[in-house]
Amino acid sequence: MSFTGQEGGCDCGSVRYRLEAEPIVIKCCHCHACQRQTGSAFALNLVIETDAVTFSGARPEVIEMETASGHGQSNHRCPQCHVSLCSVMHMAGDKARFMRAGTLDDTSGLAPDLHIFTATRQPWFVIPEDAEQFEAFYTGKDVVRVFGEDNALRWRKVLGR
C-alpha cells in the first residue's frame, strides 16, 4: 500500500491532514504510557518528516505527555473531539511526526515494521514470530536493518546526524 497522498483526520472532521511522502517506518509501541494514552493495547504510529504532513482545518491543540523513554512527547489533538492525531517525540526533535495510524481514512494496508517495548505488551497480544521486536527501544545499530538503508538515511536527517 502506498501512503503518499493518503488523508486522515479526527473523528469530528475539524482537523484533516495529508501525507506527502511514505512513512520512514511504522512502529507499534507496547509501552504502558502508550497503552494508557490510547486506551488500547498499543499505539501504532507512522513516522514521517514534519514537512511531509500537510494539515488543514482547525489547529491541533498540544498536550505534553510522558513516555517510557523519559523524554516525553507533545501530543497533538483535535481541539473539538480531542482525538490524538500525532505526537512529536522530544527525543527525536521537531522534524518528525508520529502520526496515529488509526486516524487515516483508509487503514486497510497498515502493518507495523517493528514492535517496541514488548516487555510490557499485553500477554494476550501475539506478535508474529518473524516481526522485528525489541523488549525496550531499538539501538542505532538496528536502524539500517529495520528501516532499510534509504529510510535510515531519512531518519538520520531528521535527527540531524
Residue 62 DSSP class: E
Question: What's the pLDDT score for residue 68?
Answer: 67
Is pLDDT of 105 > 70? yes
Q: Does residue 58 sit within a domain?
A: yes
Q: Does residue 89 sit within a domain?
A: yes
CATH code (residue 11): 3.90.1590.10
Residue 62 makes CB contacts below 8 A (sequence gap 6+) with 74, 75, 76, 77
Q: Residues 29, 34, 36, 37: is their CA dihedral positive or negative?
A: negative
Q: Say how many Å lie between the first and final Cα of the chain, rounded.
A: 29
Total domain count, the chain = 1
91 vs 9, more confident:
9
Q: Does residue 94 sit within a domain?
A: yes
Residue 59 DSSP class: P
Q: Does residue 118 sit within a domain?
A: yes
Joined together, the cell numbers standing for residue 103 give 486516524
Can you give the C-alpha Rg of the chain in angstroms?
15
Q: Does residue 145 sit within a domain?
A: yes
% residues pLDDT > 70 (the chain):
99
Pinpoint the alpha helices (H) of the chain.
32-38, 140-147, 149-159
Q: Does residue 1 sit within a domain?
A: no
Kind and range of the H or E run holding 88: strand 84-89
Q: Does residue 2 sit within a domain?
A: no
Asked which of 90-94, 104-108, 114-118 is least confident by mean pLDDT, the reply is: 90-94
Pinpoint the alpha helices (H) of 45-148.
140-147
Judge if pTM exceeds 0.85: yes
Residue numbers of the domain that contains 148:
7-159
